[in-house]
């Protein structure tokens, strides 16, 4: 089950992000750290009603995804496939390591893509860490096209690859 996150989910979501950061670091992927994603960032996502959580069959909240139509200024440097108009931006997709490999990330992305299509967005945009080859394969298999790089100095000196998936408009 996927639902909007509430303030009661804040500590659990932060714990999931921390578990993911440790898991990635243990595998040589230094993508998330003490600066990002912060509890404040997740709290803001919840207040703006842009954070969604997934509940596993065992009733455990095990993952999250944030999406909105707000474009980070950092993305202005990218030559996107679609003009800036009605684009959905995905951030902070996380699945607790104990629940990875069970299709939770796929379900969260399916949900985001369905929401984008239902609201007539023209594309979905996101970034993923250049050292996270698993994520790159995941997005590319879903039809996302790599377009360029951005940098988040508080997270890494390595680039983050930007991706876009153009959606078919059914009007």
At 101-159, the pLDDT tens digits run 999 999 999 999 999 999 999 999 999 999 999 999 999 999 999 999 999 877 778 89
Q: How much is the average pLDDT of 30-48? A: 91
Tokens of 41: 């960032």
Tokens 């095990």, residue located: 62
Q: How much is the average pLDDT of 43-62? A: 98
* pLDDT tens, residue by residue, 143-153: 999 999 999 87
Q: What is the pTM of this model?
A: 0.94
pLDDT value, residue 156: 79
Question: Which parts of 31-138 are beta strand (E)?
Answer: 51-55, 61-68, 87-95, 123-129
CB within 8 Å of 89: residues ≥ 6 apart? 67, 68, 69, 70, 71, 72, 75, 124, 125, 126
Distance CA 70, CA 108 (A): 19
Is 90 exceeded by the pLDDT of residue 28?
A: no
Domains within the chain, CATH numbers bracketed: 2-166 (3.40.630.30)
- How much of the chain, in percent, has pLDDT values that exceed 70? 98
Q: How much is the average pLDDT of 37-58? A: 97
Q: How much is the average pLDDT of 73-93? A: 95
Q: Residue 39: helix, strand or coil by DSSP?
A: helix
């Amino acid at each position: 089950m996927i639902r909007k996150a509430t303030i009661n989910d804040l500590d659990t979501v932060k714990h999931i992000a921390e578990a993911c950061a440790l898991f990635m670091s243990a595998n040589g992927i230094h993508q998330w750290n003490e600066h990002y994603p912060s509890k404040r960032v997740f709290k803001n996502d919840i207040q703006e009603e842009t954070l969604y959580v997934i509940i596993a069959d065992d009733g455990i909240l095990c993952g999250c995804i944030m999406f909105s139509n707000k474009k980070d200024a950092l993305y202005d440097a990218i030559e996107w496939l679609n003009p800036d108009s009605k684009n959905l931006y995905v951030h902070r997709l996380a699945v607790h390591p104990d629940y990875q490999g069970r299709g939770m990330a796929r379900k969260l992305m399916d949900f985001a893509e369905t929401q984008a299509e239902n609201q007539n967005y023209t594309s979905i945009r996101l970034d993923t860490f250049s050292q996270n080859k698993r994520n790159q394969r995941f997005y590319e298999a879903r039809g996302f096209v790599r377009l360029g790089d951005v940098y988040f100095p508080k997270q890494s000196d390595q680039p983050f690859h930007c991706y876009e998936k153009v959606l078919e408009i059914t009007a």
